[in-house]
Amino acid sequence: MYGLINVGFGNVIIGDRVIAIVNPESAPLKRLKEVAKDEGKLIDATYGRKTRAIVITDSNHIILSAIQPETIASRFMQTFSDIEKLLEDIRVSGQNFEE
């Protein structure tokens, strides 16, 4: 229930499909990126800039972003808060309608 999350340069991902947002500096993550490239599951959304975050999805797609992992995580939290507020507004207006 996260909706669409901006990962930079107008690129968005479906928040519900994300498993992890990680820093790309470790050797295992560099290998993971290479495996995804070989399998055709690598999506480069950096527009030629340095990769600052790797987003891993439940379909084993790897998305590269030029935005810090903390920034993407805060966008997740903001989107979640926005959706929760919207649902609460709907609940309240539904209760007023029934009365």
pLDDT digits (tens, 9 = 90+) for 2-57: 789 999 999 999 999 999 999 999 999 999 999 999 999 999 999 999 999 999 99
Check pLDDT > 80 for residue 96: no
CA 84, 86, 88, 90 torsion-angle sign: negative
Phi, psi of 45 (to 5 degrees): -110, 30
Pairing of strands 11-14, 62-65: unpaired
CA 92, 93, 98, 99 torsion-angle sign: positive
Domain ranges, residue 86: 4-98
pTM of the model: 0.84
CA 16, 5, 88, 96 torsion-angle sign: negative
If one counts the domains in the chain, the total is 1
Binning pLDDT at 50, 70 and 90, where does residue 97 land? low
Determine the pLDDT at residue 35. 97
